[in-house]
Amino acid sequence: MRTGVYFCQVEQTDGLNLDAVAKYASNLPEVETVEVLGVRPQLSPQKLAESLKQLRIERVVIAGDQPGYYKPIFARSMALAGHDPTEVRLASFRARGATSQYSLERAKAIVACATMAVPYALAAIPAETPVHPATLIIGGGVAGIQAALEIADAGKQVYLVERTGTIGGHMAMFDKTFPTLDCAACILTPKMVAVGQHDMIDLITNSEVTEVSGAPGAYRAKILKKARRVDPKACVACSICSDVCPISVPSDFDANITTRKAIYVPFPQAVPNVYLVDAANCTYVKNRKCGACAKKCPKECINLDEKDETIEIDVGNIIIATGYDVLDAGKVERYGYGKHPNVLTALEFERLTNASGPTGGRIVTRTSQFNKRLKQDEWVFDPAGPPPKSVAIIHCVGSRDASYNPYCSRVCCMYSLKFAHLVKEKLHDAACYEFYIDMRAFGKGYEEFAERIKQEGAFVVRGRSATVTEAHGQLVVKGEDIVNDRLLEFPVDMVLLAVGLIPPQGTEALSKMLGVTQGPDGWFSELDYNGNPTDTERGGIYVAGMCQAPKDIPDTVAQASAVAAGVLRSISSGRGIGHWDTLSLSEIEAKARSLASAMQNPG
């Protein structure tokens, strides 16, 4: 078929030499013309149709980062030219991470396949490899836990590596989950306990993967096991060590709204339920002073001189389940986070309203109190402190905003509605305002949940809130109400910020170590968004949960189960997917040509 190849980008594709790809395309025997039209070109269907007619083009290939964006224009042009509008093929450089180190060769292969109307995944199909039956899971949030249990329950060995002192991830911080308002701990804790007790799961907490070598089906991983300095077999979590520890630091598990000691257990239901030493803050580890915990431990199970160790494991498959971090709310200056003590992030509110949190679940405002030890005033959540009489919840803080994260963080609308419910449930007379841009209630039962919250008395205001300031000790929210075409300015006692989500710290290093690319927003790239959202371009390496893109708990669990099924399939068949780049460009081209001819002559 006489083919025209048109390069159209929606964004600049960093590091990909488009001219080299275009030159390669122009030498393909089918190709009649090649045009590099640049980033967001202004296309006229009429002019394109004239040129298609003149050149007698029978097939169009649109090549670029998001070629589907331009498909309607080219299909229309083909129809106007009197040609078959279905003969518009897409060569997407985003599919299968063509911007990775293999980009140029892969981009060429993707274009070659499109000119022959053969899916790249058919022609470039990698060789199958034998698979080691053990699996490494990186990240012990609900995604890692779910995948670990499913694989281990099938009798296969799992190494679950978690960098903090406990598994559970963010879900362990929540009181209730939307839209069912189920108790998060009631769902998660039994799974955590099952992981801790499972014969087939080697739980490696307080650790990180530092090196991965080998090939799909036969990876070797080095894991840095940071010294816990407490013998997990002997510790009975009696808390005597932390009672005598003189060091208090912000508690990361409580989103820093309270403190913990330098020897601590992250939370009462932690798995493993044993103490660990925070080496960065322990005075003994830093300069050999103190050591009170080791002296007082009745089980004599604290060894403050314990050293980190590196272990090596062999595995066939690797699952990335590293979840997310929350954007630093202080970056969005207009909301005064870090300046006004009663402007809180969503995670801070999750801990404040949690029955096992620092106030026992009482929603109170921060008050200034004198700290005798530090001899200074500090802002604290006193369980007996005054509750807020009014609360404003601001959606999309740093999300859907080109200055921060252009993408939607997907879960913020729903957890903000959950917060309104919790405020109205616990503080019947408090006024609660939700400021949203668009309400994204997309899941099962979500729209009904949004309606329920309105009926519970929350004021749901459509419009962006502009600023949060303080006047005479009172927070003042200014914003717009676009439905009623008016500007609003009113005092509140507490502001909750639905801050956007970002890939967790360390994602870039992990991406380089594993050879799995990150998308433009920094989340790990899946092999094929529609057809294969759990594999990655690297054979035997999968993505589960938030690390691939923002998603809620049901979607996270579903994806983790799908990953486990893929892993088990490869283990039980003994064969896994090899590298996507095992075939050379000429081999892929030849394979695509023979597939194209087989499709034309099926007999």
| CA nearest to 344, candidates 360, 361, 330, 356 | 330
Structural contact between residues 556 and 443, judged by C-beta atoms closer than 8 angstroms: no
Taking the complex as a whole, how short is the minimal distance between the CB of residue 590 and ligand FAD, in angstroms? 40
346 touching ligand FAD, by CB under 6 A: yes
Residues 6+ apart with CB under 8 A from 566: 534, 535, 542
143 touching ligand FAD, by CB under 6 A: yes
364 touching ligand FAD, by CB under 6 A: no
Q: Which long-range contacts does 594-600 make (Cβ < 8 Å, 24+ apart)?
A: 595/116, 595/118, 595/122, 595/123, 596/116, 596/117, 596/118, 599/117, 599/118
Rounded CA separation 133/151 (Å): 10
407 touching ligand FAD, by CB under 6 A: no
Taking the complex as a whole, how short is the minimal distance between the CB of residue 321 and ligand FAD, in angstroms? 5
- DSSP string covering 400-466: S-TTS--S--SSHHHHHHHHHHHHHHH-TT-EEEEEESS----STTHHHHHHHHHHTT-EEEES-EE
The one segment of 128-136, 156-164, 235-243, 456-464 that binds ligand FAD by CB under 6 A: 156-164
494-513 footprint of ligand FAD as x/- string (CB under 6 A) = ----------x-x---x---
Rounded CA separation 524/271 (Å): 27
Structural contact between residues 500 and 413, judged by C-beta atoms closer than 8 angstroms: no
Rounded CA separation 22/33 (Å): 10
Q: Which of 74, 174, 267, 523 binds ligand FAD (CB under 6 A)?
A: 174
369-398 footprint of ligand FAD as x/- string (CB under 6 A) = ------------------------------
Nearer to ligand FAD, 291 or 519 (CB): 519
351 touching ligand FAD, by CB under 6 A: no
73 touching ligand FAD, by CB under 6 A: no
Q: How far out from the chain centre does Cα 77 lie?
A: 39
Q: Where in 192-231 is the site for ligand FAD (CB under 6 A)?
A: 208
449 touching ligand FAD, by CB under 6 A: no
321 touching ligand FAD, by CB under 6 A: yes
Rounded CA separation 351/357 (Å): 5
Nearer to ligand FAD, 62 or 343 (CB): 343
366 touching ligand FAD, by CB under 6 A: no
The one segment of 109-117, 169-177, 220-228, 386-394 that binds ligand FAD by CB under 6 A: 169-177
Nearer to ligand FAD, 150 or 350 (CB): 350
Q: Which long-range contacts does 286-290 make (Cβ < 8 Å, 24+ apart)?
A: 290/246
Rounded CA separation 162/229 (Å): 17
State the virtual CA torsion across 439, 440, 441, 444 in degrees, nearest 10: 170
418 touching ligand FAD, by CB under 6 A: yes
169 touching ligand FAD, by CB under 6 A: yes
170 touching ligand FAD, by CB under 6 A: yes
The one segment of 11-19, 377-385, 411-419, 582-590 that binds ligand FAD by CB under 6 A: 411-419
Structural contact between residues 37 and 25, judged by C-beta atoms closer than 8 angstroms: no
Tokens of 102: 């293999």
| CA nearest to 473, candidates 379, 397, 384 | 379
The one segment of 249-257, 429-437, 544-552, 576-584 that binds ligand FAD by CB under 6 A: 544-552
Taking the complex as a whole, how short is the minimal distance between the CB of residue 233 and ligand FAD, in angstroms? 23
Please report which helix (H) or strand (E) contains residue 558, including its range. Answer: helix 553-573
140 touching ligand FAD, by CB under 6 A: yes
Residue ranges that bind ligand FAD, judged by CB under 6 A: 138-144, 161-164, 169-171, 174, 177-178, 208, 321-324, 326, 346-347, 350, 411, 415, 418, 504, 506, 510, 545-546, 551-554, 556
